[in-house]
């Protein structure tokens, strides 16, 4: 299995730091990338990435949506508003580094960084293809290494599968996993397109995921003052 469950918070004691210089270099390279357009996968490649800064929590979504594409900020649309609600419920303080204040402490990213466009059915956005994800994955791997987060939040089934393999949303959300010595907390996609989160049993799983995120925030804060 690529993951393990029920790792106690006290099992993690490594003090991590973002390598801001390395992240700055990566930001420049991502911003200049047009690989998916050059390969014919996208009509327009417009990578979304923030300015480099320290962060202890890294959020990985699926791909930018239309509002993010337009505003140039990850999770700028309704999915960000829902995600911000989960972060606020987990006790993250409001800051001024993001449109949705409670997301200010997190480094936000996604499996691919360019808007894939609408889905063929017209219901939501097109999911990025395997080829697009493969082209973008080295950026994500380097981003994780440069940010060096204590906590990774996976948003949506595609992001969960990319790190945990073939696991059902039902079995992932509400659980805490370990990946490369980091706490990993899965959430469902926050866009509202999926009805999964409307079922009472799944609402309870999301509440449990928020509680796990709160415990991780408190652990990281404790370790920062030691
Ligand atoms: S999705 Fe990633 S690999 Fe593709 S063009 Fe955008 S930044 Fe480059």
CB atoms within 10 A of CB 95: 12
Boundaries of every domain in the chain: 20-224
pLDDT in the model for residue 8: 47
Ligand 1 centre distance from Cα of residue 13 (Å): 34
pLDDT in the model for residue 6: 41
pLDDT in the model for residue 193: 73
pLDDT in the model for residue 2: 37
With a Cβ cut-off of 6 Å, ligand 1 is lined by 30, 33-36, 45, 47, 112-114, 132, 135-136
Pairwise CA distance, residues 89 & 107, whole Å: 18
Closest-CA residue, ligand 1 atom 2, reads 136
pLDDT in the model for residue 69: 95
The C-alpha R_g of the chain, in whole angstroms, comes to: 17
- Strand ranges inside 12-165, DSSP E: 57-61, 106-110, 151-155
pLDDT in the model for residue 11: 46
CATH domain 20-224 topology: Uracil-DNA Glycosylase, subunit E (3.40.470)
pLDDT in the model for residue 4: 38
DSSP string, 39-71: TTS-S------------SEEEEES---HHHHHH
pLDDT in the model for residue 14: 57
Ligand 1 centre distance from Cα of residue 128 (Å): 10
pLDDT in the model for residue 197: 85
What does pLDDT average to in each consecutive run of 10 residues of the chain (226 residues)?
A: 41 74 97 97 94 96 95 94 96 94 96 93 88 97 97 97 95 96 94 83 95 96 83
Ligand 1 centre distance from Cα of residue 147 (Å): 19
Pairwise CA distance, residues 82 & 99, whole Å: 13
């Amino acid at each position: 299995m690529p993951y393990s469950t029920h790792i106690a918070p006290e099992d993690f004691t490594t003090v991590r730091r973002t390598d801001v210089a390395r992240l700055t270099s990566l930001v420049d390279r991502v911003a200049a990338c047009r690989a998916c357009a050059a390969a014919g996968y996208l009509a327009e490649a417009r990578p979304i990435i923030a300015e480099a800064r320290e962060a202890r929590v890294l959020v990985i979504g699926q791909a930018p949506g239309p509002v993010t594409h337009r505003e140039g900020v990850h999770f700028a649309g309704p999915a960000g508003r829902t995600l911000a609600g989960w972060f606020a419920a987990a006790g993250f303080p409001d800051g001024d580094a993001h449109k949705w204040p409670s997301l200010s402490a997190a480094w936000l990213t996604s499996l691919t960084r360019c808007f894939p466009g609408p889905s063929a059915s017209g219901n939501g956005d097109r999911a990025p293809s395997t080829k697009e994800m493969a082209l973008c994955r080295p950026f994500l791997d380097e981003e994780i290494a440069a940010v060096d987060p204590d906590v990774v939040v996976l948003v949506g089934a595609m992001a969960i599968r990319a790190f945990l393999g073939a696991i059902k949303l039902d079995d992932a959300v509400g659980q805490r996993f370990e990946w490369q010595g980091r706490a990993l907390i899965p959430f469902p996609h926050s866009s509202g397109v999926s009805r999964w989160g409307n079922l009472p049993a799944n609402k309870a799983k999301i509440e449990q995921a928020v509680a796990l995120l709160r415990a991780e925030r408190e652990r990281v804060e404790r370790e920062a003052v030691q």
